[in-house]
Structure 1
């Protein structure tokens, strides 16, 4: 899409009568020009420092989204000391989605109003100065420059193109989906993508690699190498890694998507920011009212195209065309590169060479919004969640009812990253298409720590409520349940194989224990045949057969995690009986489930 051309004014001719004063004016203008150029260079470096600083802050918060202590003391409430979800709370696209889907304003998301206020003054400075995901793309394109994007190809790639409309159509579709009752737009929110991809794929992969390298260093037999490796591992364990090696469900797919998005920067600079980012589109809508913007003197432009070579937003900074205010990242590279001082950024600029509105087709925009509004009911009908959703969809403790959960969950993965036992994982299609990458508990990988409420603390939208330890443990009230355990007696050692085992009962954390055992003496066939060709002998074995009291079981999954039967465990947890649902319950004739004795 070529930007609309404009015709600049004719260059004024100098008067002979004023020739004597011309040198003094030229000197004054030259001096002011040098000062302005120095100022803009300083601002460009300030922007670069800002980008690096906010990326470092984001990564620091991400690394601190972990619990490296102990739950041994029940008297001390476990809380993270830092607001690790701060970037998500300041995300106006997240705030808009939850507002439209729930018709309520989550208190923590009020911070996003500050970012909107900054946008109304300075334009899309978040994209060029703050956004950690945008900075990651910027740095990637700088560190791994493409041979394809050189010379004229670089200039052409930085011109405003029709593909930049895609992010606006995605924005309209996701906002319409929010009106239909789903925050599925979190799949494309840049902060959510960054937390999910780096926290669930990149960090565990790096931890695994350093673990392998540390093991190799330990086997080298060189004491200095071993000492340096141990010191590095201790530092990383205390500040960066989780307490143990984490593995996440389907994390390979999330990692591949991140690599693919970063690779596209070799074809289109800042591909994500220009083409796919709904947050950038959302800020672009508000940037049209910004008080700070660009003025261009088209008559002085020599068409050197240096502004296009360095442009980050593909917003048409070159002379002879109108500037796209909604696409500008306020990187200031164009003014810094311009040798003729054609470009100036200032408050209350002239708007005669500016296009403020997003350049989208009305019919396509309406079709995008309609698709977003229709696809959510269509997915719900196909998944039949209201009737009887998948038994594997075990939500974190404190989660709201499933419909409201999908209205609020933005798939940011903060809860998965902070879970101390690696119990929470991104769903694939267990929760239907609408529930992709929402958190589910997989007990075989990790169980829900009995007194842990960290997932609710870091949730930015209230999909997981900020409950207390007393609420979860049932002190003075009924304990929260996320599911119920069941036994497969055909695989259980005491039930099917006459083999003593009480591991599940020992690890059951509730008080009184939800798992109780029945003392029985049962016959067992001896492994060796008797003498003289007789049949194998028999003996009597005393075993303790486990049972579940559903009125006490909270579905934490500790029993399934520790079950010694490999592959498929003998005890497993499903979401039936969860506290958040009034319909997903176990129907019992006697709700007071009594044990013998």
Structure 2
């Protein structure tokens, strides 16, 4: 089998393998596999989360291959690239004018890495592998499908434009390959001489600084909306979540209770397709941490079950007017089902009535009490913490650990 045919077979094999892994493999596999294939995901998530772990270890072999052979992944493995090339060959009148366009993909990569320094990697969601995986087995598969269809349409109308000028994963591979050009070899002595810092391409400096500066400004902006959506346990703060999450849907597929959904009705577009917790029939089990295991970027921390159970999703709040106890009907199933002992039934000798009280220190917002409540009088909510600039998501995250007992009032 000749080289081009081998490359085609390899790319088609990965095109089939990725959905299979997403649907039938254990969650941890995809959380490691995506960063291993995509240096754009792996390197950016390491910078954004300040965490060196399996994601970085998986990225290093591919990074080494890219330094040795430019765009190795694009040429030999990328399934999205194969789809793009195939569509380009079907174009009746190929337009090559895109070669005069700037390399927007490289600008996006540098801007994203710069933003990651301030925990806001802007264009991470454009990683083609994450978009492709999101079309399989998620509640918002059509949204991911539209994004993937956009890549196909670009390839049909302008063959080569996506891969050469727009794709951030391909641009990241070019930048990695250029690392070897930062060192020159002294021909006379045979020793390696590192180029002066002033010779580093200006676009790299401007891209990184521009991304970092913009991310710093964004960090001080208020989050739109009156409430913060419920996020999986171990998720980063709301502002970082909107940038670090690549909307791949891995956590949604991994959840055995199906309480995670891709958000189709966010307060603003920056929250579109982010994982949101909705307690309809299930709850967050205390023996499960699959969402963190499946996350490829660290937007949801991979934690031991014991530590995951200490991370708050929200706080259970009782609507006392709707509670059966307010109607003098005997109940208490919520207190019986709570494994953390966070729900109490208080009795008032003055009014001779009983009421439910939530211990905010013990409650982690798992939602076990919601589906079992007969009148549905319990909900889980993240109260906002405001400052002079409006809603501050970072302050809200800190407040989750400092709630008082007011939640039961």
TM-score normalised to structure 2 length: 0.75
- Whether 1:510 and 2:400 are equivalent positions in the alignment is no
1:578-597, aligned counterparts within 5 Å?
A: 581-584=397-400, 585-588=402-405
Q: By how many angstroms is 1:102 displaced?
A: 4.3
- Rg (Cα) greater in structure: 1
Q: Work out whether residues 111 and 122 of structure 2, in 8 Å CA contact, stay in contact via their aligned partners in 1.
A: no
Alignment correspondent of 2:360: 550
**Counterpart Cα distance in 1 of 2:179 and 2:210:** 28
2:320 to 489, 501, 506: 489
Q: CA deviation at 1:404?
A: 6.7
Which deviates further from its counterpart, 363-372 or 160-169?
Answer: 363-372
| 8 A contact 2:32–2:58 mirrored in 1 | no
Aligned-pair CA distance for 1:443: 2.4
Q: Which residue of 1 is the match for residue 188 of structure 2? A: none
Aligned equivalent of 2:159: 269
Q: How far off is 1:270 after superposition?
A: 5.0
Pair 1:588–1:125, CA change in 2 (3 A): same
- State how far apart, in whole Å, the 2-side matches of 1:380 and 1:432 are: 16
* Equivalent residue number for residue 17 of structure 2: 57
Tell me the CA shift for residue 190 of structure 1: 1.6
Deviation of 1:255 after TM superposition, in Å, equals: 3.5
Cα shift at 1:138: 4.0
Q: Alpha-carbon deviations, 1:30-54, whole Å to 9, x = none?
A: xxxxxxxxxxx71111111111112
Q: Deviations over 1:74-125 (max 9, x none)?
A: xxxxxx5845531223421123323433455334322212112212222212
Question: Which residue in 1 is equivalent to 2:194?
Answer: none
Query: Deviation per CA, 1:207-265, whole angstroms, max 9, x where unpaired?
Result: xxxxxxxxxxxxxxxxxxxxxxxxxxxxxxxxxxxxxxxx45xx654443333332332
Partner Cα distance (2:285, 2:76) in 1: 39
Q: What RMSD, in angstroms, separates the aligned Cα atoms of the two structures? A: 4.0
Q: Which of 81, 96, 101 in structure 1 is aligned with 2:48?
A: 101
Distance in structure 2 (CA, Å) of the matches to 1:84 and 1:587 = 36
Q: d(CA) in 2 for partners of 1:407 and 1:260?
A: 21
Residues 481-503 of structure 1, C-alpha deviation per residue, up to 9 Å, x if partnerless?
322100122333443x5666655
Residue correspondence of structure 1 range 59-98 to structure 2 within 5 A: 59-65=19-25, 82=29, 85-98=32-45
TM-score (norm 1): 0.54
Among 264, 276, 282, the residue aligned to 1:440: 276
Structure 2: give runs of 5+ residues left out of the alignment: 182-200, 385-393
Quick one: distance in 1 between partners of 2:238 and 2:41? 19
SS at match of 1:440: strand
Task: Kindly indicate whether the alpha-carbon contact (under 8 Å) linking 1:101 and 1:407 is maintained by their aligned counterparts in 2.
Answer: no
